[in-house]
Structure formats: structure tokens, C-alpha cells
Chain A
Amino acid sequence: MTTLQQHPFFRPARIASAVLVLSLLLLIASWFIELPQIIRLSSATAILCLLYSLIFLGFGRLRGAQFRLLAAAIVSFTLLFTFSQLLSYFVNPYLIVRRVTPVASLAFFFISTAVLLLLLDRDRYLRFAQVMLIIGSSVGYIGLLGHAYLVPEFTGVDSMLMSLPGAICILALCYCYLMLYDNQGILQPFNTLLEGGRMGRSFLPAVIFLPLAVGYLRLFGHWYGWFSTEFGVSLIIGSLSSLFSVMLYFSMKVVNKRDQIRMESELALERKNVELQELTKELQRVSEELQATNEEYLSLNEELQASNEEVSANNEQLTALNDQLHQANKKIQEQSHQLVQQKQREYDLSEGSLRSILQNTDHSYLILNTDFTLRAFNRAAAEGVYRNTGKKLLMGSHIFDFMEASTHQNFLEILIRVRKGEKVTYVRDVPTPHGKKWYLITASPVHTIDNEFVGYCLATVDQTELRQSQAELSEERNLLRIIIDHLPLNVYVKDLQSRKTLANKAEYEYLGFATEEELLGKSDEDLYPTESSTISIEEDQDVFKTGRSIINKETINVRKDGKKTYFLISKIPLYNGSREIMGLVGLSYDITPRITAEHKLRELNDRFTLLSRATNDAIFDWDYVTHQGIWNHGVETIFGYFVANKLAPVTEWTGYVHPEDQVKTRIQLFRHFVLRKPVWTMRFRFQCADGTYKHVLNRAFIIYSAGKPIRIIGALQDVTEVTVYRQNLERLVAERTKELNDALNAEREVIEMKSRFISIASHEFRTPLTTISLTSGYLKRYETKIDAAHRLKKLDLIDKQVSHMTSLLDDVLMLGKAEAGKIFAQWELTSLVPLIEEIVDEIQLASDQIKVKTQWISVPKLILMDPKLFHNILANLLTNAIKFSPSGRDVELTVTGEYDHLILGVKDYGMGIPSDDVPTLFEPFQRGGNVASIQGTGLGLSIVKKSVELLGGTIRVTSTLGEGSEFVVTLPIKSE
């Protein structure tokens, strides 16, 4: 039994139920209002209806065990109640006024049975429950009919009839509960999506309400006498029959339609089947056919292949034949062609070469007939004539037409000589528009093979250029002469006897002649003193013998007048056309000025070397372009590098700078480069040959070219000694300063201590002073008003304050003396236990809250001790222990005697000492950070410390902040 809420009917059922609940509530309210009998509902019925509606509302959602228990209880109660009502009715129908009518009771009986079955939640009870509900609704229906049709049986007995609202309520309840499971059990057919379900749903209201309406109509007709009873009955029967007919019609239609559809689909299926079979058959047939065709094709193919092979064989034979024919044909053609070509070439060669020679040469050729007319001429002749005269050569024209008349006679004579068989060559100048031209003309006779004279041949060569170049050559010679004369060199030519055959201006002027001619023919012997000339002549002879040149030999020449000149001389042998030495060319360059400068330079250099030797600096010259460095001997004396040694820092010597200074050095250098600063001075450490470093002062000069550094020259001065000395000095100053500061700090501490002492002491003294001043003032003021006892008490108080101040003063004085070394232990024989007990009692007097617990462990009786110092120690420790124990816990004193020393332990459970304060704990006027609000001088523990020291003992302290402190004093025992 599921899917309740999902069903479309469920929602209307719930709404109906809710409306029911509301209206029932209204009806219950109506008990207090007078209403017509017909619409009044008995209270019991109303309450029952209400309860059932509520159960229904809860049905879908609250199907838990508790709900079911409650619902079952209500249903059971209803069963019993209605049963008892029915019984009571049968016992005495008039007895009870307010009760459920029998019809209603009956209806409720059925409904409650149904609900009980539904609550059991079993499928097999569902149908039964539905039947019960249908019966219940029928009862309600009858009740409704009773009202509608005014049934006398019901109206007769007043209490039989259920009220109209009761009937409606019961009907509604039944409807609702039926709708709970409207798609299950006997209601299931109504709820299908099939045609039957649809029909049932649409006809059900008609089936229920149509008879009601018809019955009502019939009764109206009867009551008001519209028609007879028989007509009414027929009306009912008719209407029912028509209703049933309609239903029958629709059922038939539905069933028929369904059958028809089924049959149609069967038929269609069969048809499809047949079609399929046919298709299969056809498919089979087609495939068979295809196979047959395929076979046929195969056989055809084979045949075709065979014939094809045959054809191709034939074809090959034909092709081979054809090829043979073709080749034969080609060979014949080639042979004939070659033959023709050869003939042609032979002819072309003989004729063509001659013609081409004539046409392409620059020489002009003219061939004249015996009557001096032109028989033939070449291109050069035609061009030359045209250029010179502007006339065109024509075949058959007279040669004289192209010549000036003045030359005719001369030319005729030449031709006559030629006619006699002579070959005549002559030169002729021809004036042309381009200037005078020179021609070399050769005229010769022309004979046939039979030696018959047939004409003249004139061959003409243009010699103009030749003539011009000769002229230029002589010009050049002149030029050369001028150059030689003006060279700043002494240039001369000597013959084999060392006689001058040529001399330039410099040479003859040097030798004191005005012209060249005066000098020529003279030998060195004539010109120089014997010692100079001998050497010179030997040199000359050497050159002539060996044929080797002397190049740039440096010599000193002395003239006859005694003047000394430095020369750079070169002597080069001179050959004639047949490669024989015919003399020499001498070049002497006066280098006297250069030599003088060199001498000066050497002197300067020597001086510089001396200077650099005199200094103790390492001077360097660093070519920044090639990165080649030069050092003086300083690099050896200072750093131990040998100047000549490759180990010396010849290249980038920044690599020798101490690694710590290197970055600084490079940056400085770079900055200088960027800013183009010339002077570079800085200190750094430089590596020596043995690996150690020396402090050097670098002073250098940077030379720039085009904004780039090209050379750095400078000196490294060894300042190690100075630097080390300075560093030592600095260290010494720092040490002295520190000592001074330490002393100052110590002084300051003393001053601080003093001021601290003054402030604390003043406060500590003021307190007792105040009390004294108050008390004395009091005594003075009220002298007469107070009695003797009171006065005595006040005086005692003053005494007490005075003694307190005295002890305070004693403390300070004692400490002062101890600091000054003016106190010494006063050893005396003391019995220890009474001394300690006395001190404890004294302390105990001041404090009654905190007790001192004493523990004795093997304590010696008599010892040598200074009781006063001992008192200082113990009294101060105990006082402190009590003073700084705000907790109120007792103080423990442990006295332990050991072999040669005494141990005093004072332990408290007080506030403890902050660890920061422990180091200064025993210094005078030092107080813990946590005791500022507790009075004290800060003297106690320093007195303890001093006393312990005076007794030759030790003291140590262990303390935890907030938990307490323990002081342990160890004193040596001097026993007798």
C-alpha cells in the first residue's frame, strides 16, 4: 500500500476532509445556537466525524506506531460506542435523547471496521475494507435519500433518521477513505489509463446521481400530482434503461475498438511477413543471376587476354622493322650533310680568313690599277681617308682625288719606282682636322701568278701615337731630373772609376759647387780628405765586384773644410742593357738633426733612469690598449719581483691588489675612466713575490685619447710602515679611551650608589625622626592632660626610635668601615647555641605571626667566633626571611656543624628574588625589583656579605620567584 501522496485523487480527498473538519467544528459550535432540526447534528456524531477526519488527515504522513495505536483506540471506541447505541436503541428507542441515530451508528460501524482493517496495513484486508466503506457510504446514501425523498419509514420514527449534515459527513468520510487507496483493490480498474478506467471514471457520477435525480423527479411528480405513479416508474425504468444502453454502447465500442485494433495489427503483421518472403526470394534470384554473369565475364576476359598477347607480339615485330629502316635513312642523310659541310668549311677558310684579316687590321690597304684608279681597299683605309679628308673612297675613283695637289709629284715618282719592281717605304705627314698625323707608307707592286704587273699595293701605318709617346718620354726625363734636383737627398751616379757622372742640386751644393757641370768627372779622391774618400772608394769597389747594394748605412762624412755630417747612405749598382755593371747610384740622407735629437733623448732617459733609481717607489707605465706594463727597479726592491722576470706584474696588475681592496680599486679606476679624471690617487694592499701584502700609496696619471684611457703612468709608494704604525696608534687610542670610559663608568656607579644611599638613608632616618618629633610634640602639648604612665610610654617610644636609628647608623658605619678595610674579626671563645638562641629570640620579639623553626645538627659547643659579626649575619638573614614572607609561613633555620666548618641555612617560603636581581643582591643599597613597597635600606645583605667575608666564609643563595629563597652561609670553625 504505497504512493498515497502521489495520486491525483489524494489531494481533493484531503481538501474535502479539511473542509469537513472545519464545517464540523462550526456544527459543534452551532449547538449553542438554535437551528432547524434538519441540519442539526447530534454531538456524538459530530465528534466521531471530526475524529475520523483527523485520523484521515494523519493517515498519509503519520503511519508510525504511535499514531496507529491512537487511531486504533479511537476506532475501537467508536465500534463499541456505536454498538452500544444500536443496542440501546433496540432496548428502548425513546430512552436516550442525545444519541447517535441507528442509521448513523450503522454507518460508523462499517466505517470504523474499514479503518481498523486499513490500519492493519495488509494487502489482503484492503478489498474487504473497501467493501465495508462502500456499504457505509450506501448507508449514508440511504440516509441522504431518506431526507431527499421524505421516506415515511424514516420520518415516522423520529430518532431513526440520521440528520442531513450527518449523512453528508458520512458520505464524505467514506469518499475520502476510499480515495486513500484508489488505485488498489477493487478500485484499481477505475484508475487505469486504459479505456475501461476512463469510462468507469466518467460514468460513475452518472451512475450514482442520475437515479437520484430521476427518483426525485418521480417523487415530485407524485407529490404535486404532475403525473401518475405508473408514469414515474416508467420514467425511472426508461432512464435506467437508457443509462444502461449508453453504458452498454460505450463498453461495446471500447471492446470492439480494441478487437479491431488487434485484428488490424495482426493483418498488417501477416502482410509484412508475406512481403518479406517475396523479397527474400527475389534477392536469391538476383544473386544467382549475378553469379552467372560473373562467370561469363570471367571467360570473356580470358579470351581477351589471349588475343591481346597475340596483337602485342605482332606489334613488336613491326616496330623492330621500322627501326631498322629509320636508322638506314638517318645514316645516309648524315653522310651527305657532312660532305656538304666539309666543302663549305674549306672554302670559307681560304676566302674568309683573308678577308677578315684585311677587314680587321688597323693598317690601311689600298690596291691601285695601273691607271692609278682604286681597285680594292679595306675598312681601315676607308675610315682613315674619311677621317682625314671627309671624302668616301669609291671603287674606280682616281687616287689623286684624295690627295693634296702638292704631293702628287712626289707620289708619282714613288709609284714609278714601284713600277720598276722596287718596294718603297717612306713617312709622310698629313695635316688633318685633328692635327698633324704621321703615316708610314709602304708601296709595293702587285703581280699575277704569271708575274704580270697589274697594279700597286699601298700599305699605310699610323705612326702618330708613336711619335707622341717619344715626346712624352723626353718630358718625363726632364721631370725626373727636376725631382732629383729638388730631393732633400744627395743623389749622384758614379762610373766604375768612382767619377761622378750625375749629381743633383743637393749633392753639388753640399760639395760647394754652383753647377752640376763643375762637379762632373771628379772622383771622391778629389772631393774628400783621404780618410773619408778611401772608405767611400772601397765601398764603391765592393758594390761593383759583388753587385750587392748598400742600403741605409750610417756613416760620418767629413768634408774638406772639416764639417762633420751624419749620412744614411745607399749605393745601388747600375746596369747597362747587357746586364753589365756600369756604375752606381748613390743616395745620401743627411740625418745629423735626428742623431742630435737622439743624443739628447738618450741623455734625458739616462737622467730619468737615475731618478727612478733614486726614488724608492715602484714606477709603472701601463699601456692600457695593449695591457703591457713596464716597471722600474722599485718593483724589485719593494715587492721582490724581478723587472726582467716574467713573474713581475706586467699585465693587468689590479689582479695583484689584495682581494679585500680589489673591488674598491676597480670601482675607483672605473669611476676615473668614466669621469675622465686624470689624477688617480688611492691606498691599497699589493701582493709581493712571496705572497705577502704591502700597503701602498698609488699616485698615477691617466692619459686619455678620444675619451678612452690609453696609458696609466704612476708610482706605488710603500706605506706599510706608516699604515701599520697608524693602525697601532688607533688601537692604542681605542684602548685608552675604553679604559677611560671604564673608569668614568665606575666613577658614575659610585656616584649613583652615593645618591641612592642618600635618598634611602634620608627616608629611613626620617621615619623614626617623625615618630620622635610627633611624640615629643605630643608630650609638650598635652603635658598637663596626660598621666605619668602615659608619659612614660611615650618616652619609651622615643627611646625605641633612637635605638633603631642608632642601629641603622651602626649598619652604615660598619659597612663604610668594612669597605675601607678598617674592620677585623674579633675572635673570642663563644658558646654557639646560646648566641643563636638569643638572636632568634630577639627577632621573634619583633614578629609574633611568623615563627622561626630551628634545627640543630651536631653543633659544636664552644668555638672561636666574632659574636658581633655573627649577629650581623644571622639577624639580617632572619629579619629578611620574615620581612619578605607575606604568605605567613614559618622560616626554617638549620645549623649544621661539620669537621671544620659551620653551616647556617635560612629558608623561607616567601616572595623570592627575581633572577635579574641576584647578581647585585649583595651590593649595598640594592633592593629587589619586587620589594619597592616594603621598607628597607638595602644594606642588610651587604652587611651579611661583608661579615661573612670578614669571618673567612662563603654565602650562596638559591631562590625561586614566588616560592621562596634559601641562603646558605658556610663559616670556618677555629676551635681551640
Chain B
Amino acid sequence: MQIQTFSENHQHSAIMAKLILVVDDTPDLLEGLREFLQMEGYEVVSATNGQEALDVLDAMPVDLIITDLLMPVMDGFQLIRSVKQRDDFRNTPIIVFSAKPRHENVETLLQIGASKFVSKPSDLENILLSVKELIHE
């Protein structure tokens, strides 16, 4: 679990930066996403599986969660369910960023509480659009 509370390159320093939790078990991907989001002025906290993500949520309030599905220890589905059961994060938007599962699985995801599904691979613009749409900036 790595927590970086202050961005090096913040463009919106006047207001409090939004905090995004990124969950993925591929370190390279995690690092890439973090760098990108920080460049866009968000604060990022990362976790490599569902359990770590829940630990992070215990420690701090986040504004958005981006998560993979296939992960060791606790997968994305379980993470979404657990988050939706918690009173303090019930309304936190969740973006699922994962290799495209079967059609019915996407529906299941939206049913259990995911806000949006972004299929891997995806370009930066697409990710940024989804993030902005859900954070309401």
C-alpha cells in the first residue's frame, strides 16, 4: 500500500485535490495509472488487491475507486460488494478497468454497484473522461 497525499504537479492546487483509489495487481500498470492521474491533478492511492483496497478505505475517505477484476486474495467483484455494504462508501463511484469479461458479467457488475466499465486496453482520454464524469468537476 502506497499512499501519496500530495501531488508533485498539481494544477488545481487552490482547491482540495480529489483522491482516487486505484486497485490492480500488475505493478507496471498501477504505476502508469498513478503517474497519469497525478499529472491530471488528482491525488492517488493504490492497492494491489481487494483486501488492500479495503484497508485503504479504513484509513481515508476516497472520492473514486478504479479497480481491476482478476486479483489474488480478494477479486474486484468481492471488493465492489464489500464497498457497497459500507455506509461511508456506498455512494462512492467505482470504475471497473479490466479485460472485457463476458456480456452478462458486465451486467452483473453494474447490478452489484459498479458505476462504469472501461475495457482494457483503453486510451488515456477515455479513462480521463470517465473519471471526470463521475467526479463532477
Contacts and interface: CB of A to CB of B under 8 A. Distances in A.
A-B complex is real: yes
Contacts of B121: 766, 769-770, 772-774
Given A773-B122, A777-B123, A933-B70, A763 B29 contact: no
Nearest to A933: B72
Interface string B22-65: 00011011001101100100000000010000000000000000
B39 A785 contact: yes
Contacts of A801: 28
B25 A774 contact: no
A769 B120 contact: yes
A797 B72 contact: no
A763 B74 CA distance: 18
Given A767-B120, A777-B123, A933-B70, A782 B29 contact: no
Nearest to A764: B99
A767 B72 contact: no
A774 B26 contact: no
Contacts of A767: 26, 29, 99, 120
A774 B99 contact: no
Contacts of B71: 933
A785 B40 CA distance: 12
B33 A774 contact: yes
B36 A778 contact: yes
B73 interface: yes
A778 B120 contact: no
B80 to A, nearest CB: 15
Contacts of A886: 72
B73 A933 contact: yes
Contact of B75 (A778, A782, A797, A933): A933
Contacts of A763: 70, 99
A771 interface: yes
Interface string A760-791: 00110011011111110110011001000000
Contact of B123 (A773, A933, A935): A773
A616 B18 CA distance: 102
| Residue picked from B75, B121, B122, most chain A C-beta under 10 Å | B121
Interface in B49-106: 49, 70-75, 99-100
A778 B99 contact: no
Nearest to A777: B124
A800 B28 contact: yes
Interface in A651-684: none
Contact of A771 (B25, B32, B72, B123): B32
Contact of B29 (A770, A932, A934): A770
B129 to A, nearest CB: 13
Contact of B32 (A769, A778, A782, A932): A778
A770 B124 contact: no
Nearest to A883: B72
A688 to B, nearest CB: 66
A896 B71 CA distance: 37
Nearest to A766: B99
A204 to B, nearest CB: 90
| Residue picked from B25, B49, B120, most chain A C-beta under 10 Å | B120
A954 to B, nearest CB: 32
Nearest to B39: A782
Contacts of A781: 36, 39, 124
Contacts of B33: 774
A771 B99 CA distance: 12
A778 B28 contact: no
A778 B35 contact: yes
Contacts of B100: 766
Interface string A898-939: 000000000000000000000000000000000011110000
Nearest to A773: B121
Contact of B120 (A770, A775, A932): A770
A898 B122 CA distance: 54
Contacts of A782: 39
Nearest to B31: A797
Nearest to A778: B36
Nearest to B27: A771
| Residue picked from A762, A763, A770, A777, most chain B C-beta under 10 Å | A770
A565 B130 CA distance: 128
Contacts of B120: 766-767, 769-770
A778 B73 CA distance: 30
B122 A770 contact: yes
A594 B121 CA distance: 113
Nearest to B50: A933
A785 B41 CA distance: 14
Nearest to A800: B28
A777 B122 CA distance: 10
A767 B120 CA distance: 7
B31 to A, nearest CB: 8
Contacts of B36: 774, 777-778, 781
A775 B99 contact: no
Contacts of A772: 121
Contacts of A771: 26, 28-29, 32
A791 B39 CA distance: 14
B73 A774 contact: no
A879 to B, nearest CB: 15
A769 B28 CA distance: 11
Contacts of B99: 762-763, 766-767, 770
Nearest to A767: B26
Contacts of B123: 773, 777
A934 B75 CA distance: 10
Contacts of A932: 70
A664 B74 CA distance: 64
A436 B92 CA distance: 151
A886 B25 CA distance: 14
Interface string A228-253: 00000000000000000000000000
B72 A778 contact: no
Contacts of A800: 28
28 contacts: A762-B99, A766-B99, A766-B100, A766-B120, A769-B121, A770-B99, A770-B120, A773-B123, A774-B29, A774-B33, A774-B36, A774-B121, A777-B36, A777-B124, A777-B125, A778-B32, A778-B124, A782-B39, A785-B39, A797-B32, A801-B28, A932-B70, A933-B49, A933-B70, A933-B72, A933-B74, A933-B75, A935-B70
Q: Nearest 6 pairs between A and B by C-beta?
A: A777-B124, A766-B99, A770-B121, A773-B121, A774-B32, A770-B120
Given A771-B26, A785-B39, A933-B49, 17 more contacts: A762-B99, A766-B99, A767-B26, A770-B120, A770-B122, A774-B29, A775-B32, A777-B36, A777-B123, A778-B32, A781-B36, A781-B39, A782-B39, A801-B28, A932-B70, A933-B74, A935-B72
Interface of B: 9, 25-26, 28-29, 32-33, 35-36, 39, 49, 70-75, 99-100, 120-125
